[in-house]
Amino acid sequence: MKNLIRKYPQLGSSQDPQKLGLTVKAVLIALIPLFIAIGRGFGLDLIETDLIQLVNMIATIVSSVMVIVGLTRKIYKK
């Protein structure tokens, strides 16, 4: 991971440049509901329960907050 951050420093955290940034982590988390939606589009029969919907909503909310905090940190540090 450190090699990736050295090659692409914009992926680094504004708090600790050696670690992956919060914005990048949030984008990775946001991919979970996206993959579920794509799977449904291709006809994968996912179990429709309130639990799956709850996980989707939580992942969306958490990733959104992480993006906002990560971008705010980057802007503040620059």
pLDDT of residue 5: 78
Residue type (1 letter), 47: I
- Report the predicted TM-score, pTM, of the whole model to 2 decimal places: 0.51
Domain extents for the chain?
21-77
pLDDT of residue 68: 92
Q: Please give the Cα distance from 78 to 28 (Å, whole number).
A: 24
Kindly indicate the confidence band of residue 72, based on its pLDDT and cuts at 50, 70 and 90.
very high
Half-sphere exposure of 25 (CA within 13 A, CB side): 14
Q: What tens digit of pLDDT does each residue of 7-59 get?
A: 878 888 888 888 888 888 888 888 878 877 777 788 766 666 666 777 788 88
Half-sphere exposure of 61 (CA within 13 A, CB side): 6
Angle of helix 22-41 relative to helix 50-77, nearest 10 degrees, comes to 150
Q: Which comes out higher in pLDDT, residue 63 or 32?
A: 63
pLDDT of residue 60: 87
